[in-house]
Amino acid sequence: MYPADYRYTKQHEWIKVQGDTGTIGITDYAQQELGDVVFVDLPKVGAKISAGKSLGSVESVKAVSEIYSPVSGDVTETNPLLVDAPEKINTDPHNTAWLIKLKLADPKEVASLMDAAAYEAYISEQAKEHSA
Amino acid sequence: MNTSAAVELRKTALNSVHRRMGAKMVNFGGWDMPLEYSGIIAEHLAVRTRAGLFDVSHMGELEIRGPGALQLVQWVSCNNAAKLNVGQAHYSGLMTSRGTFVDDLLVHKFSDTHYLLCVNAGNQDDDFRHIIANNQFDAEVENSGPRYSQLAIQGPRATEILQQLTPGQLEAIRYYHFAFGKVSGVDCLIARTGYTGEDGFEIYFAPEHSVKLWNDLMQAGETAGMIPCGLGARNTLRLEAGMCLYGHEIDDTTTPWEAGLAWICKMEKARFLGSDALAQQKQAGLPRKLVGFEMLDKRIGRDGYPVVIGSHEAGRVTSGCPAPFLKKNIGTAYVPPNATAIGTEIEISIRGQAAPARIVALPFYKRPQ
């Protein structure tokens, strides 16, 4: 379910690193919690993003959710697919519905993020607290 | 996502059914209720084009009985219940002495000496206390919520679905009327009312029959494409239909004049709780009025966001969301009375950024007759 070569945050973002480029999206758990996604607000190419700071927002029918960047860097690309088809986040959150790509300011930041096994353990804890 | 402190939520008789069906659950007015099953958009569209089934057993019921029943209803609510025939219902407001809303409600006339009020889940205990405190008419007031479950069958195919389970002719029940009859062999109050802007029914019955009625209705609706719907779609449906939600368009600071609800406020009937204040406000002029707006770009003006007119904050959004059937982003807001003209360009401040919007007529959606 959660790709083994991605890293994850507690706010339910993922990042895939290739060289000095990171691709960022939201997790399947996040899209399930949000429900039908209707609008995505992304930064401009060239924007400087800091780890832990908002990089934009994803809106579902019922709520707006801030997206926090897992790492720092400069935005090199935003996903054009999401302009007209934001609902792709509900069907393919880990692949075609990525949000932005950025040039990593400090590749070492990635090491502090959760791997897939740690993230899966984390969300199963969250689910337990929800149903308690 | 925060983990909130454990609070004991109230549950309807269908709680385990919703959970088994995989509904996403939410705390609504102290009740553990289904927010969505298959998704708000799919559920919304099902109700507009086919049918949807809602568990609305969290809604409160209050019954008023005795020779003073009508007098009490007339005193605490702003619509004219003396005009109701037996078997008829109307929308009304439960008023404070300031002419503001304690709650909004449906009043059903069972007989000259017996009325059933359907009130909001989160307000039912306050409503009960408020009515008792204003009962100078020696009427009997019962908080009968625990004796009722309620299901709403809504949508253009609601009648044909419900008709399969009931012997009486549903077409004989006119809009905002009700009848007592059997559904699946269970005694029900069958009311042609709803909160979606579609034709449909709300049925009231003893909670022990909830699972049977839910299952029988789901089965009866299968070929017509009826699906279970949660509170998420209930909210987008009611907003598209321009209906008020307590805590949003109306509360204990808003009057019926401000909320565009003059049609439920009958000043010609005898004096009632809040009528003096309402007469006064009518004469003095309104400080604000509720309007509908649609966004002019893809952004969504949500509840609580400031409304900006000519670079000044002029009011607040009371509800805002995507309208799945109309395929635009809509909302309601309070604005100064001189800024209510249809077509007025306004801005909604979304986290500090101005998003353009335009005032449009309410309701946003009217079902084809």
pLDDT digits (tens, 9 = 90+) for A20-53: 999 999 999 999 999 999 999 999 999 999 999 9
CA-atom Rg of chain B in angstroms? 21
Contact B6 A132 (CB under 8 A): yes
Residue in A12, A38, A126 nearest the CB of B322: A38
Question: Which residues between 298 and 327 in chain B have a beta carbon less than 8 angstroms from any beta carbon of chain A?
Answer: 298-300, 302, 321-322, 324
**CA–CA distance, B73 with A14 (Å, rounded to integer):** 57
- Identify whether the C-beta of residue B159 lies closer than 8 Å to the C-beta of residue B198: no
| In CATH, B288-360 is 3.40.1080.10 | no
The average pLDDT across B184-196 equals 98
Contact B300 A35 (CB under 8 A): no
Would you state the pLDDT for residue A69? 97
Q: How confident is the model at residue B213 (pLDDT cuts 50, 70, 90)?
A: very high
Residue limits of CATH 3.30.70.1400 in chain B: 60-143
pLDDT < 50: residue spans in chain A: 132
B220 token code pair = 């009866």
The residue among A25, A32, A33, A31 whose CA lies nearest residue A9 is A25
Domains in chain A, ordered, with CATH?
6-131 (2.40.50.100)
Residue B15 at interface with chain A, using a CB cutoff of 8 Å: no
Residue limits of CATH 3.30.1360.120 in chain B: 15-57+148-240
Contact A35 B24 (CB under 8 A): yes
Q: How confident is the model at residue B2 (pLDDT cuts 50, 70, 90)?
A: very low
Residue limits of CATH 2.40.30.110 in chain B: 288-360
**pLDDT, tens only, B257-274:** 999 999 999 999 999 999
Give the 3-state secondary structure of B335-360. ECHHHCCCCCEEEEEECCEEEEEEEE
* pLDDT at residue B298 is higher than 80: yes
**CA–CA distance, B348 with B333 (Å, rounded to integer):** 10
Residue in A36, A39, A90 nearest the CB of B299: A39
Contact B40 A62 (CB under 8 A): yes
Residue B3 at interface with chain A, using a CB cutoff of 8 Å: yes
Longest Cα–Cα distance of chain B, Å, equals: 61
Q: Which residues in chain A are contacts of B24 at CB distance < 8 A?
A: 32, 35
**pLDDT, tens only, B52-71:** 999 999 999 999 999 999 99
Closest Cα in chain A to B350: A64
Instruction: Say which amino acid occupies B119.
Output: V
Would you state the pLDDT for residue A128? 77
Distance from CA of B140 to the nearest CA of A (A): 40
Q: Which residues in chain B are contacts of A128 at CB distance < 8 A?
A: none
Query: Which CATH superfamily is B15-57+148-240 part of?
Result: Probable tRNA modification gtpase trme; domain 1 (3.30.1360.120)
Domain B60-143 fold: Alpha-Beta Plaits (3.30.70)
Three-class SS state of B30: coil
Residue B196 at interface with chain A, using a CB cutoff of 8 Å: no
Distance from CA of B51 to the nearest CA of A (A): 20
- Before B287, cis peptide (omega within 30)? no
Would you state the pLDDT for residue B39? 97
The average pLDDT across B242-267 equals 98
The residue among B155, B151, B149, B150 whose CA lies nearest residue B43 is B155
Residue in B298, B299, B321 nearest the CB of A61: B321
Residues sharing a CB contact under 8 Å with residue A119, sequence separation 6 or more, in sequence order: A2, A8, A27
